């Protein structure tokens, strides 16, 4: 078994996203669903590394997806910090202080 990767790309032709699963030189084409009786142990459909998970999140971000609860998102925080920095510069300038 090689290094499992899941990549994502926006697919506007069907209003969604496409995923490609790769394990070394092997590529996943379909997922076969199996019925299970209640209480049976179920293995994960796929297991990936933290690095692969980060790549998947980055791909989804690039495709335009954002967390549903985005108030603490890094992008929002960065924009707020930049705005605050700009406001400090303006305030210090108006007060005649060096920044």
For 50-89, write each residue's pLDDT tens digit: 999 999 999 999 998 888 865 556 667 778 888 899 999 8
**Order of strands, sheet of 26-28, starting from the edge strand that comes earlier in the sequence:** 4-11, 16-23, 26-28
What is residue 1's predicted lDDT score, i.e. its pLDDT? 56
What is the mean pLDDT of the segment spanning 17-43? Answer: 91
Count each helix (H run) and each strand (E run) in the chain, helices first: 2, 3
Share of the chain above pLDDT 70, in %: 90
Token pair in block for residue 97: 């202080």
What is residue 66's predicted lDDT score, i.e. its pLDDT? 84
Token pair in block for residue 94: 């108006």
- In the predicted model, what is the mean pLDDT of the chain? 87
What is residue 52's predicted lDDT score, i.e. its pLDDT? 93
Distance between CA 30 and CA 69 in Å, rounded? Answer: 31
26 has pLDDT over 80? yes
Distance between CA 70 and CA 54 in Å, rounded? Answer: 17
């Amino acid at each position: 078994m090689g290094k499992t990767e899941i990549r994502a790309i926006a697919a506007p032709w069907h209003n969604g996203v496409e995923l490609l699963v790769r394990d070394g030189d092997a590529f996943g084409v379909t997922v076969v669903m199996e019925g299970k009786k209640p209480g049976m142990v179920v293995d994960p459909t796929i297991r990936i590394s933290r690095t692969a998970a980060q790549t998947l999140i980055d791909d989804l971000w690039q495709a335009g997806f954002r967390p549903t609860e985005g108030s603490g998102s890094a992008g929002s925080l960065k924009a707020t910090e930049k705005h605050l920095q700009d406001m400090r510069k303006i305030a210090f300038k108006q007060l005649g202080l060096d920044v």
